[in-house]
Amino acid sequence: MFKTERAAIAIHTNLGAIFVSLELSRSTWLITSLAPGNGERMSKHSLKAGDVAGLFGLLSTLRKRCRARTRNDYPIVTIQEAGLDGFWIHRVLEKEGIESHVVDAASIATSRRHRRVKTDRIDGEALHRVLMAYKRGVPRVCSMARAPSPDEEDRRRIGRECKALTAERVAHINRIKGLLFSQGITNYEPMSRDRRQQLEDLRTGDDRALPAHMRAQIGRELDRLELLLEQIRTVEDEREALIAAQTAQARPSPVTMLLEIKGIGTEFANILWTEGLFRHFDNRRQVAAYAGLAPTPWQSGAFDREQGVSKAGNPRLRVTLIQLSWLWLRHQPNSALSRWFNARVHRNGGRMKKSTIVALARKLLVAIWKYIASGVVIEGATMKRA
């Protein structure tokens, strides 16, 4: 038996651009570059977070070095993960004529080992591999995020702030009720108009006046609650003004079309519009995937089962659609979607309503998208004008 030594075969890639990955953090930016004529070696540079001038200076240096080595000018292609920094760096790069991509970090394939090595250096190299595969047209290598315009991003603030304020209001109400419950008081409503007077007249379960320090604490909780109520009213007024500006347009806007459907009010219309329907989608699969309502099958050999929805999309849009689906059954009982839901639940013997409502949410989103994008009226739906 003869032992044959086989030389490793190197695969050389003809780079047509300077590929740059940005690993961003609160304190440091790690810049990893791969340029033609550098022996396919990656160079790493560190910058202080937020140093845009230093970033452009580094990119200019990389371009000059590449020109000196190859006698050619190459474009720069950058990639970064979608994260805390948002899209402002992406916009700055595109404003300077640099091709920039923002990738969904969860879509990048990683090692499945229980303990895997993870450093910023390794992550920067992984971003390079993903970017080069994406530019080669490799399918399913990653999911690139489409950056919204500054106006589209700013419109989201109203709905998201309203949700945050509502959650804080619920927390304050529950805290007040919990404090009073410890004293045997269960009939106090913090949202009533005479909440201050009720607080003064409260008696504990053992017929004592409310302790002074607890009364003071609840009073401060009421101060914060009343401030929240005032802020919620302000945000709702801004939302109404935004919707009124859309409805005043001569051309029907998506919000106007949504408000024509019975069962959809200003809150749902605003969230559906600002969180999802302002985007362009090519097909219904993209619509369902953006909301995280796409199915996730698990198939291997003879093993085939459904894991449920992916939940990889916009969580605010997904939650709103599930809430809207329950209301759709109440306000649109004669629509084709409601009849499908009732028939499906009846076939299952009245079981699996929660999983079926998620399927209804996916169908409802696709139907609303068709209605907004192409004017296809939802089958059997009742309009408010009618």
Domain boundaries, the chain: 18-145, 150-247, 254-374
How many of the other CB atoms lie within 10 Å of CB of 55? 20
82-140, pLDDT tens digit by residue? 988 999 999 999 999 999 999 998 888 888 888 888 888 888 889 989 999 999 889 88
Q: Assign 1 a pLDDT band (cuts: 50, 70, 90).
A: very low
In degrees and rounded to multiples of 5, residue 11 shows phi and psi of -100, 110
* C-alpha span between 11 and 158 (Å, rounded): 52
Region 372-386 average pLDDT: 86
How many of the other CB atoms lie within 10 Å of CB of 113? 7
CA torsion angle 14 16 17 23 (round to 10): -50
131-155, pLDDT tens digit by residue? 999 998 898 899 899 899 999 999 9
Region 326-336 average pLDDT: 95
Alpha helices in 150-201 (DSSP H): 150-181, 195-201
Q: Where is pLDDT greater, at 271 or 10?
A: 271
State whether the Cα torsion 326-332-336-340 is positive or negative.
positive
Q: Taking the model in full, what pTM does it have? A: 0.82
Bridge partners, residue 295, by sequence = 309
The CATH number assigned to the domain with range 18-145 reads: 3.30.420
Portion of the chain with pLDDT greater than 90, in percent: 66
- Which stretch of 84-93, 285-294, 305-314, 315-324 has the lowest confidence by average pLDDT? 305-314
Average pLDDT, the chain: 90
Residues in the chain: 386
